[in-house]
Amino acid sequence: MTQKRPIFAVAPMIDWTDRHCRYFHRQISREALLYTEMVVADAIIHGPRDRLLGHDAAEHPLALQLGGSDPAKLAEAVKIAEPYGYDEINLNVGCPSDRVQSGTFGACLMLTPETVAACVAAMKAVATAPVTVKCRIGVDEQEPERALPELISRVLDAGADAIWIHARKAWLKGLSPKENREIPPLDYEIVYRMKQRWPDVFIGINGGIRTLDEAATHLAHVDGVMLGRAAYQNAAILADIDQRFFGAPASAPDWEALRDRMMTYAERHIASGGRLQHVARHMVGLFTGLPGARRYRQILSTDAAKTGAGPEVLAAAFAAVDFSGTEQEAVSA
């Protein structure tokens, strides 16, 4: 089975793409595939499952990203996650953080493709949703032209349904996770070549993609495009996805309706014991480039963090934005 959708996704990002972020993004795009933060298999087996795996039904289509290197534990985590109804289960073979390396998973797994294949086979044996892999093009001194196709070949033989490739190497020593997202040079061409080599397999691309025009360019060569920081830091970019890539009717974003839905959601979260800041922190970059965006950011960054802050803070922030203005440089906002 090969996965042919989606063609657009918001990348899994630790500390960012939690359930509140995903609910917010879903209000802007109905079609984009959303990903959880990476959840370690051990945490699912031994930790608070509802907190780790629970989500709002509105978040679908939604993928769960798992971290781990023990096939048995990953299979158990997949079985535990089954009732939560995820649309895809993704194995992280790309995260370069020290925390992940100490657990012998993430990007360092590229050094042991046979282990990745065993993990995929174990996950496929118990999963009903598609099982996918997100990887780098290589790590450290690996030669990507050899390491990447070897990994792909092995995981496809193990039953993987799709491959997402972050088009950079990861340097496990000497670079921080932030530097690993920026310093290793991008090599989109090697991802294109992997698609040419496996034309019937869903292969998606990730890394350094900032605009929907760039996304469209990549889609001439691969099946899917994944945006990370660009989608998080300026979530309004998601407003054009459904029309541009999924054939939805063209329409102007209804920001007032978004405000009202997020106020209702925030009220629900606060009533259950949460804080407005848990929701509002993901909304700060929404109106980058519009008049009033600076004041909008100030309100969300300061007032939403105050004890007892309620949904009215969101209303005040939205009221600061001039939606009649044309898009300007963020510095003028």
Alpha-helix runs per DSSP H in the chain: 19-28, 41-46, 49-53, 71-81, 98-102, 113-126, 144-157, 177-180, 188-197, 212-218, 229-233, 241-246, 255-271, 276-280, 293-302, 312-319
Q: For position 333, what pLDDT does the model report?
A: 32
CA distance 113 to 156: 11
**103 among the known binding-site residues?**
no
Express each pLDDT in 123-174 by its tens digit: 999 999 999 999 999 999 999 999 999 999 999 999 999 999 999 998 887 7
Tens of each residue's pLDDT in the chain, 333 residues: 445 556 899 999 999 999 999 999 999 999 999 999 999 999 999 999 999 999 999 999 999 999 999 999 999 999 999 999 999 999 999 887 765 555 677 889 999 999 999 999 999 999 999 999 999 999 999 999 999 999 999 999 999 999 999 999 988 877 777 787 777 899 999 999 999 999 999 999 999 999 999 999 999 999 999 999 999 999 999 999 999 999 999 888 999 999 999 999 999 999 999 999 999 999 999 998 899 999 999 999 999 999 999 999 999 999 999 988 544 333 333
Q: What is the pLDDT of residue 293?
A: 95
Coil, helix or strand for 74? helix
* Annotation marks residue 95 as catalytic: yes
Q: Which of 95, 108, 119, 135 is catalytic?
A: 95
CA distance 119 to 109: 11
- Give pLDDT, residue 328: 39
- State CA 271 to chain mean position distance: 28
274 is in an annotated binding site: no
> Is 134 part of any known ligand binding site?
yes
Annotated binding residue 142: no
| pTM, two decimal places | 0.92
Give the pLDDT confidence score for residue 323 in this predicted structure. Answer: 86
Nearest to 29 by CA among 216, 209, 243: 243
Question: Would you state the pLDDT for residue 326?
Answer: 44
Q: Tell me, what's the pLDDT at 103?
A: 61
In the chain, % helix, strand, coil (3-state, to 5) comes to: 50, 15, 35
Integer Cα distance of 38 and 24 in angstroms: 19
- Cβ atoms < 10 Å from Cβ of 159: 17
Residue 325: DSSP 8-state = S
228 is in an annotated binding site: yes
Q: By CB neighbour count within 10 A (0-12 exposed, 13-18 middle, 19+ buried), where does 148 fall?
A: buried
Nearest to 164, CA basis, from 224, 245, 96, 78: 224
